[in-house]
Amino acid sequence: MILVVGGLNGFIGSNTTEALVDLGKDCVVTRHENIEIPGFLKKHIDHRHVFIEPADSTSITDLRKIGEKHKIDGIVNVAGGFSSGEGPLRGLQGYFDMLDATFQVAQEWKVKRVTFSSTGGIYLGISGTADEEQPIGLQSMFPILAYQKNVEVAAEQFAKKTGISTICARLMGMYGPFDGNQLGLPSRLILAAVRGKPANLENVFFGNADDMGDMLYIKDMARAIALLQTAEKLLYDVYNIASGKLTPNSELVEAVKRVFPNFKVDLAPGQFPFPPLPNIETKRLQQDTGFTPKFDTRSGVQHYADWLKAGNPK
């Protein structure tokens, strides 16, 4: 039984839960405030392969209650937006509290592995190609990048002190079913095309005409996380999860137009005024899990469009 923190209504967590069930694992998923259930998990809940428990991921008391009801032998923590306390350090305190609670129950339950989500955004400003050996600077353009670096440092030390396999997955470019935040360009364009409305391009990072980025469909990303969590043996503690190639925004737009021939969009000219993101190397992931993406840009666009056209709101 694997505990997926943020697994019920989180974008990454819900898809990862589905991927774990597809690999034959039963899951306990946490819900906190939002009680919406994605359609692709309902059958697994009905068949009792997924169990829902209320929990705040920063609360050791909440997590211990889950352990009293279920025999947990692995933890996947891919939730986000941790916050606790008050004042300007609320976000940072939330991440510290989340780590403390997760580490405590991991030891108490004697789990085999803990997998945390990190972000490929920590490579921001690096050119060329980057692998997991790439030196990472301490300075962070956004708070979330600083928080994720703290998670990686703490996870490494936890593994050394306890002997519990502790993995950080650096995630890149996800889009697809249950993407509630609609932060990336792929989701914005596909949602607009399905609705027959102009795309909302406000505050889209790397959304200009000459930009390119790693675009990994969420079903592939979730499967990669599940493969890391369930692998018998892993050689490293940090893995990039990405498509392994940079896709130009022009290619993305053309892929959307193939599915929706009447779709029109005018991306802002030039490049987004940010340091670039490099091409993300995924050899570690491939070698240790056998992972390769099943979706390319066109099939990812089609799959997400079909999901939205079936009446799903996001």
Say what the pLDDT of residue 286 is. Answer: 98
Is the pLDDT confidence value at 162 over 80?
A: yes
Q: Count other Cβ atoms within 10 Å, centred on residue 127.
A: 11
Q: How far apart are CA 9 and CA 15, in angstroms?
A: 9
What the chain holds in terms of domains, given with CATH numbers, is 2-173+216-241 (3.40.50.720), 175-213+245-277+295-309 (3.90.25.10)
Q: Which two tokens stand for residue 153?
A: 């440092």
Q: How far apart are CA 112 and CA 109, in angstroms?
A: 9
Tens of pLDDT, residues 62-83: 999 999 999 999 999 998 767 7
Residue showing tokens 């050119």: 127
CA dihedral over 137, 143, 145, 150, signed as positive or negative: positive
Is the pLDDT confidence value at 180 over 80?
A: no
Average pLDDT across the chain, whole number:
93
Instruction: Judge whether 52 and 34 are in contact, CB under 8 Å.
Output: no
Closest CA to 146 of 118, 182, 174: 118
DSSP state at residue 123: G
Please, what is the end-to-end C-alpha distance for the chain in angstroms?
28
Is the pLDDT confidence value at 302 over 90?
A: yes
Closest CA to 252 of 173, 195, 308: 173
State the pTM of this model. 0.96
Q: How far apart are CA 222 and CA 11, in angstroms?
A: 10
Is the pLDDT confidence value at 157 over 90?
A: yes
Residue 89, sorted as left (phi over 0), alpha (psi -120 to 50) or beta, turns out to be alpha
DSSP state at residue 248: E
DSSP state at residue 77: E
**Mean pLDDT of all residues in 139-154:** 91
**Mean pLDDT of all residues in 228-254:** 97
